[in-house]
Amino acid sequence: MRKFIIPLVLVTGLILASCGYRSPYVYSGPDKNLYITNWHNRTNELLLDAKIYQSLVKWYQKSGSIKIIKAKEGAHLILAGEIISIDLPSLTYGSGNDATEVKVLLTVRYVLKDIEKDTVLLEVSRETWSEEYKVGASSSESSDNEAEALGIIINDLSEKLYIKTLDILSKERK
């Protein structure tokens, strides 16, 4: 009986390993140089463009085949974007008509272009991201909660762009 269990486990493992699963976080195609522009910031939120840039760089550095470069010259791809607006509508109110929960709404647009082929790979003309946060007892606590909510949005946006880029490049290879 034992003689059959080990081969059965090995065969099952091989079948499962070859099931065709592809991680969306991995691109193993030809190396690409990506130039990320500084996003135009139409809001009064200071350094928002820098935070988005840093988050995008962090995500794209996960790929061994995509290299972030600091100049447009030598780039295969260019990622440009614009921060259109940031809004903070109140969601719920407590006693005394004070807001207890607020939502951060960040609206952006972006485009990913293949410079070599002069083609647009991805273009989103308007996309709104949202995250709720609790209003704190003090203004500094509320500010911290807002910054944390905005950080979540920025990370989620960057992750989505990264995964979409990998997906587009992988499909383009086929």
In 3D space, the residue among 6, 60, 10 whose CA is nearest the CA of residue 35 turns out to be 60
pTM: 0.80
pLDDT for 133? 86
DSSP lists the bridge partners of residue 53 as none
Per-residue pLDDT, 109:
98
pLDDT reported for residue 42: 97
What whole-number percentage of the chain has pLDDT above 90? 60
Domains detected in the chain:
29-173 (3.30.160.150)
For the chain, how big is the Rg over CA atoms in Å?
A: 22
Q: What is the pLDDT of residues 133-153, one digit of tens each?
A: 887 667 777 788 889 999 999
Q: Which helix (H) or strand (E) holds 133?
A: strand 119-134
Q: List, for residues 46-98, the tens digit of each pLDDT value.
A: 999 999 999 999 999 988 899 999 999 999 999 999 999 999 876 555 555 56
User: Going by DSSP bridges, is the β-strand pair 77-87/40-41 parallel, antiparallel, or unpaired?
Assistant: parallel
Q: How confident is the model at residue 19 (pLDDT cuts 50, 70, 90)?
A: low
Contact 84, 114 (CB under 8 A): no
What rounded mean pLDDT belongs to the chain?
Answer: 85
Q: Which helix (H) or strand (E) holds 111?
A: strand 99-114
